[in-house]
Structure 1
Amino acid sequence: MYNQQNPMFEVKPVFRPVQTLVISLISSIFITMFLGSFLIPILGIAIGAIVLFTMPQFKDSIAAASGSEVELSQSDFQTFAYIFTSLPLLIGLALYLVAALIVYKSMKRTKSKTVYSFYEDHMLYSESYRTKNKTTVKYSSITSLDYSCSTFQERLGIGTISISTAGRSKLINISDIPNPDEIYQKIEELTGTKSA
């Protein structure tokens, strides 16, 4: 069994609100397009019908138009056109903003709950706020370390360390961590691994 006393050190990613906002706004476009293709027509028709049938002047106009040769007045026609063209746009905008808010809050919570703990012979990490999954990686299974830092990350004093392990196809990316050079050296000393 692993020594679970106290970690030698812990690493938490830095939350970057501007980057998170941009990512959430971009990803919300796709969420809105997908959901909107189903919801907007249905909601637009439903809300439009509710508005039309709850307003007496529209109900009378529709009854008059359907019961005889009487056509809708120009103002009634413009109102119908306005309702049926603006409702889907308003619903789409609301859906987009709600999706962006949900994605932003989810990313923020995930960053706040992510912790990488380094012990004497293993590392333990949890990267999600919704589940209680914790993953343990023995240092003996680590095959390589890689350190990267984009220009933007460098300006903020953060970076990313990628850990490759035997038996796993997925890299462990420790992203947006402060003092990445120092952390990288500590991990390298603990694991006895040199960069790939």
Structure 2
Amino acid sequence: MKHRISREWPRWTEYVGSLFARFGAELFDDPMGDFKDLRQVNSVQDYVDLFDELLTRVELSEDQIVSCFIRGLKPEIGLPVKMLAPRSLAKAVNLARIQEQTLVVQKQVFSEPSVLSNPRNIHRFAATNSSFSYGSNQPTKHTPTTSKFQNPTLANNPKPQLKHAKLLSPAEMEERRSKGLCFNCDEKYSYGHV
């Protein structure tokens, strides 16, 4: 250092510059601040890798570590993990990975078009899958079948032919419901009616 040679105290900027040159960037490093500010941006595994790297530079209790880990997760992952109250970092990491996979599966399932995604199919779905008749609030009587999981109408006709759905106003729907008529044709509605 310059002051050892000249015995003069350096100015502050020179002193900081000398420290930086001698000891590098670690002098100005704030591992606890970096640890507290860490947030998941990509996958859980990427977050775990960064978390572990910063964890080696701080001293915290297991409860504090778990709390910081959960706090840094994306909300859609962190909230379900927090709800399960893991007591160790290993458990919290496993729960976060499971939640991440659950979200991937849910995204795949809900991104595929379904029968119910088209509003015109809702009445068709209700007509073929309802165990109640529209004429009353009582469940319809089912006839026993050879298998308790077999639908009697599907056993005779594996692929029922669906008629084109009519677009009905709410008043027309209510009138047909009160008369016990099918929404798609003028026949009486009953379980298995297609």
The answer to whether the superposition gives a TM-score over 0.5 is no
- Whose relative contact order is higher, 1 or 2, with alpha carbons under 8 Å and at least 6 apart? 1
Please give the TM-score of this superposition, normalised by the length of structure 2: 0.25
TM-score (norm 1): 0.25
Larger Rg: 2
Which structure dedicates a bigger proportion of its chain to strand?
1
